């Protein structure tokens, strides 16, 4: 499997409701911080939401993030907010993990940034030349690509502050896990939500967290994905990152700071 195939597998799994559940066939609490540099203001109270076309122009585009390919999210992979069902207090987490606005917004838009990297010597070999553990290593390496869905949502008045609070509250209130369904037979089971340190530019307010979901109830196998949400005035930016190779190998990964910084730069 070459790098592009691995990246495509990752992209296929990364978007849509129940991202963790989509990985079923693919196979500690931190000192998390929610950074805030000020709450609402009179300026924000008078703020008017941007239209979708205006908001879309503020999204990162190809060439804005060195080492990443930026392209539209495949419409077939997108989630529908109306179909997501679960505990109301945890839904904001499910929404941002699906590339959607954390709460209903006048305008929202998203895109996807896929890490570009050269394959290692192991990953470059044909599968016929690999044996035993080398095959597993090659597959893991091929899929060790950060794929981040970046979503922007724009609000009137204090809407962005309220949307951000809905997410930060959910991180705390849903720490013990939750279930979420999109109309499929079985709901996705999130075992825990863990606050993490934020990366990159943190705007007016920022919160980061990981979500660990159950992949196989019979084996107890789980997988972890990472999300960061940042408020810039009356715009909320969310970053949902998945790395299949790291998840398979058990290696650590985070939301890429380069993507966060690039998007923040366009919101100044």
Q: Would you state the structure tokens that stand for residue 107, as one six-digit string? A: 């305008």
Query: Is the distance from CB of 260 to CB of 35 less than 8 angstroms?
Result: no
Going by the DSSP 8-state scheme, the letter that residue 194 receives in this structure is E
Lookup: tokens for 69: 């390919």
Q: Rounded distance, CA 255 to CA 261, Å?
A: 11
- Do residues 22 and 10 touch, judged by C-beta distance below 8 A? no
Cα–Cα distance measured from residue 240 to residue 230, given in angstroms and rounded to the nearest whole number: 12
The dihedral through the CA atoms of 115, 121, 122, 125 has a sign that is: positive
Q: What angle do CA 68, 73, 74 make, to 5 degrees?
A: 125
CA 16 – CA 148 distance, rounded (Å): 12
Q: What is the pLDDT along the chain (268 residues), one digit of tens a residue?
A: 444 444 444 444 444 444 544 444 444 333 445 665 445 554 567 889 999 999 999 999 999 999 999 999 877 666 778 888 899 999 999 999 989 999 999 999 999 999 997 655 445 455 455 555 555 566 667 788 999 999 999 999 999 999 999 999 999 999 999 988 877 667 888 899 999 999 999 999 999 999 998 877 778 788 899 999 999 999 999 999 999 888 878 889 999 999 999 999 999 8
């Amino acid at each position: 499997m070459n790098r592009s195939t691995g990246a495509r597998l990752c992209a296929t799994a990364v978007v849509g409701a129940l991202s963790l559940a989509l990985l079923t066939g693919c196979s500690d609490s931190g000192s998390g911080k929610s950074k805030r540099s000020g709450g609402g203001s009179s300026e924000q109270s008078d703020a008017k939401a941007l239209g979708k076309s205006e908001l879309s122009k503020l999204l990162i585009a190809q060439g804005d993030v060195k080492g990443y390919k930026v392209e539209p999210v495949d419409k077939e992979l997108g989630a529908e907010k109306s179909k997501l069902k679960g505990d109301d207090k945890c839904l904001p987490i499910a929404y941002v993990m699906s590339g959607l606005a954390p709460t209903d917004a006048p305008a929202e838009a998203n895109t996807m940034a896929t890490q570009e990297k050269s394959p290692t010597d192991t990953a470059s070999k044909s599968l016929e030349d690999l044996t035993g553990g080398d095959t597993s290593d090659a597959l893991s390496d091929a899929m060790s690509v950060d794929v981040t869905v970046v979503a922007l949502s724009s609000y009137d008045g204090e809407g962005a502050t309220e949307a951000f609070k809905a997410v930060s509250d959910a991180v705390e209130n849903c720490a013990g896990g939750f279930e979420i369904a999109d109309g499929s037979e079985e709901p996705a089971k999130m075992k825990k939500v863990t606050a993490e340190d934020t990366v990159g530019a943190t705007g007016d307010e920022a919160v980061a967290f990981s979500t660990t979901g159950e992949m196989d109830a019979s084996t107890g196998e789980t997988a972890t994905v990472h999300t960061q949400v940042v408020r810039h005035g009356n715009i909320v930016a969310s970053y949902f990152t998945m790395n299949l190779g790291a998840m398979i190998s058990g290696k650590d990964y985070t939301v890429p700071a380069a993507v966060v910084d690039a998007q923040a730069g366009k919101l100044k």
